């Protein structure tokens, strides 16, 4: 169970926190914390630490989701560009890529 929580937390951090910046401090901290408490024998304390790690992973995912919701409700955002991004994300989830569409120069002018 600890391994699943550890992997879920690292996955969340990699996806939402350190992906673009290549800053691995959060992942390093999580790894050190899990290693520090690997020899715990008190089941109550173990459950408490794992629960804290689960909660943190959920917080990271929820903050990212909330941020995306706020951006999607922004009236100033170009709806067409937002819809195109959403379609692209949906296609990538199922392993496809959106085709590149070239506009006529006459149409843009």
**Predicted confidence (pLDDT) per residue in 11-61, tens digit:** 888 887 776 567 778 888 888 988 988 888 888 998 998 999 999 999 999
Give phi and psi for 99, each to the nearest 5. Answer: -70, 150
Are 57 and 12 contacting, i.e. CB atoms less than 8 angstroms apart? yes
CA–CA separation, 80 and 83 (whole Å)? 5
Are 18 and 24 contacting, i.e. CB atoms less than 8 angstroms apart? yes
Whole-model pTM: value is 0.59
- Tally of CA atoms within 13 A in the half-sphere of 77 that contains its CB: 14
Q: What is the dihedral of CA 46, 47, 50, 56, to 10 degrees?
A: -130
pLDDT value at position 59? 93
């Amino acid at each position: 169970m600890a391994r699943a929580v550890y992997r879920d937390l690292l996955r969340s951090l990699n996806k939402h926190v350190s992906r673009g910046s290549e800053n691995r401090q959060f992942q390093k901290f999580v790894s050190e914390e899990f290693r520090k408490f690997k020899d715990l024998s008190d089941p109550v304390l173990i459950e408490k630490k794992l629960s804290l790690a689960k909660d943190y992973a959920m917080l990271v995912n929820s903050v990212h989701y909330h941020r995306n919701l706020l951006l999607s409700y922004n009236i100033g955002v170009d709806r067409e560009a937002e819809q195109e991004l959403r379609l692209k994300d949906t296609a990538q989830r199922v392993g496809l890529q959106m085709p590149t569409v070239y506009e006529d120069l006459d149409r843009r002018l």
